[in-house]
Amino acid sequence: MLKNAFLTLLSLAIAVGGGGASVWYALKLQDGVGAIRIGQWTAFPDIGTPTADPYSKARVAREGVLALGQAEGLSFIAERDSGGEQLKRQCAYKIAGGFPTARFWTLYAADQSLGVVETGTPRPAALQSYQVLRQADNSVVISVGSRPAPGNWLLTSGAGKMYLVLTFYDTPIASSTGLSDVTLPQIQKVGCNA
C-alpha cells in the first residue's frame, strides 16, 4: 500500500514538474510556437490577435506587456548576432541594412525581462526612426555599445545577456502577406570588452 502511494506521488511529481518545465521552456524560447524568423530577428505576428495560440497568450500574460494588434504593428526580438553568438552588453555591435516600410519604428536594448537596459545616464538605450541618420540608399547603420560612436549610436552598459527589440508601427509587414519578402538589418559583432 505504501509502495503504491509512493509510486503514485512520484508519478504525479514527474508529470507536474515535467509539464511545468516544458511550458516554461516553450515560453522562454524565442523560436517558440507561432514565431517567424527573419535573419536574427524573431516575431510573433499573431500575439495581439484573437487567433493567438495559447503559448503566445501565456507569454503576454507572463511578461505583462501590451501586445500590438495586427493592424498596429509588429515587434521583432534578436538574441543572437549574425555569427550565431548570444548578444552581450559588454560587446559592441553594428546594425546595418534597410528597414521595411513603416510609419514609425523604435529600437532598444533590452535586459532579460525585455525592459530597457539601464545605462546609468540620462541618455536612454533606445533610438527611433525620426532621429537616425540615413545613408544615401536610405539604409541605416547603428553602432551599439558602451563607447560613443559617430553617426547613430545606441548606448548600452554593464555586462550579461542582452536583447535588441525592433518595433514597427503602422506597417504593411504586420499582415501575414507582408512578411514573405521582408529583410531586416544584420547584427554584426565588432568586439568585446575584456
H/E/C letters for each residue in the chain? CHHHHHHHHHHHHHHHHHHHHHHHHHHHCCCCCCCEEECCEEECCCCCCCCCCHHHHHHHHHHCCCCCCCCCEEEEEECECCCCCECECCEEEEEEECCCCCCEEEEEEECCCCCECCCCCCCCCEEECCCCCCCCCCCEEEEEECCCCCCEEEECCCCCECEEEEEEECCHHHCHHHHCCCCCCEEEEEEECC
Residues 23 and 48 grouped into a single domain:
no
Residues 98 and 140 grouped into a single domain:
yes
101-145 confidence digits (pLDDT tens) = 888 999 998 887 767 777 667 777 789 989 889 888 888 999 999
**Average pLDDT estimate for 56-85:** 75
Decide if pLDDT at 94 tops 90.
yes
Domain that holds residue 23: 1-30
Q: What is the pLDDT of residue 67?
A: 63
Residues 60 and 112 grouped into a single domain:
yes
Residues 70 and 163 grouped into a single domain:
yes
Mean model confidence pLDDT for the chain: 79
**Average pLDDT estimate for 155-181:** 78
Residues 93 and 162 grouped into a single domain:
yes
Residues 25 and 77 grouped into a single domain:
no
Mode of pairing for the β-strands spanning 152-155 and 140-145:
parallel
Beta-carbon contacts of 4 under 8 Å, excluding residues fewer than 6 positions away, are: none
Q: What is the pLDDT of residue 63?
A: 63
Q: What is the pLDDT of residue 2?
A: 77
Residues 149 and 136 grouped into a single domain:
yes
How far apart CA 141 and CA 83 sit, in angstroms, is 18
Task: Provide the domain count of the chain.
Answer: 2
**Average pLDDT estimate for 83-91:** 91
**Average pLDDT estimate for 22-51:** 69
pLDDT band at 13 (very low <50, low <70, confident <90, very high): confident
**Average pLDDT estimate for 181-187:** 86
